[in-house]
Amino acid sequence: MNDQLLLPGLEDIQAAQERIKNVAVRTPLLESPALSHRFNRRVFLKLECFQPIRVFKIRGAYNKISHVKEDKVVALSSGNHGLAVAYSSRLLGKKATIVVPETAVKEKVNSISEYGGEVVKVKAINEREPTANRIVRETGAAMVHPFNDPLMIAGNGTCGLEIVEQCPEVDSVVVPIGGGGLISGISIAVRTVKPSAKIYGVEPEGAPKMKEALRAGHPVNMDSKSIADGLIPPSVGDLTLECCKRNVNSVETVSDEQIISAMKTLIKEVHIFPEPSGAASTALLETGVRDRLGKNVVVVVSGGNVSLELLSRVLSQ
């Protein structure tokens, strides 16, 4: 770790890569001829939706929990982080309790239970953290924060190492932002190994947490709303904000309509089924920011845990 904020460095990410190698897969990075033609540049997709639990979160969660000495862990989640914590805990022989809002995607909640996690539901997103903290105090369990943790960031950074290894000519990497754990890890890895590469973050218009935090100089709490349920925590963290200050070139926003359009594009042109959070980065290609991305663009498709109801609605439109 490289300073008082405990931000991970390249050596921490490399150690995480060795630690998680038998759990998190090295996901494909493929050029999409259809998208390259459509956007007049080479568009590569980093398919984190091909992880065993269909989302990148397994990288950070397994790296974090493998360091935990307690036999119980607690996490707050909108769904995907809870999946990763429950799955990783089962592999590591620990008991997981996951606090989710009542609005969490049903399929994600069901999978958390199937992986052995105990689900605790709360009415509102902002009730998750105090509830999780109470359970930690009462049970002595270890907290596994979804993004504001150096071990989570280091684990997520393994995705960035793979990107540079798989696409050495990369000019820019486009990453969706929820709490900022994924873009933090990727940006540290990519900017360290290939300083010329640019990093762009993408948030929903209804949840511009990182954009507002960068403007204010500190994390800002807000009532985030978006169809992209994985990108709407109330705020980013101090660690992820610092990572973005240092390494991210720009944070942009896209509308829910643009995210749905990007989902349709990926389904039709690439034949994959991203969740809205996973399609947000592709939505940036539909905006004027596209002209700043260079000729070789890596778009991170962060997850594929789309609800059957939403998928049916998108396909029917």
- Which residues are designated catalytic? 57, 302
307: left (phi over 0), alpha (psi -120 to 50) or beta: beta
- Find the length of the chain: 317
200 phi, psi to nearest 5 deg: -120, 130
* Beta bridge partner(s), residue 204: 254
Cα 179 from chain centre:
8
* Beta bridge partner(s), residue 121: 100
Q: Name every residue whose Cβ is closer than 8 Å to that of residue 52 and which is 6 or more positions away in sequence.
A: 23, 24, 25, 58, 87
Q: How far apart are CA 281 and CA 299, in angstroms?
A: 6
Number of H helices, E strands in the chain: 13, 10
Which token pair is 28? 């494909």
| Angle subtended by helix axes 238-247 and 209-216, to nearest 10 | 80
Q: Name every residue whose Cβ is closer than 8 Å to that of residue 18 and which is 6 or more positions away in sequence.
A: none
6 phi, psi to nearest 5 deg: 60, 35
Asked if residues 203 and 231 have their Cβ atoms less than 8 Å apart, the reply is: yes
- Helix, strand, coil percent content, the chain, rounded in steps of 5: 50, 15, 35
Which token pair is 17? 């890569």
* Beta bridge partner(s), residue 247: none
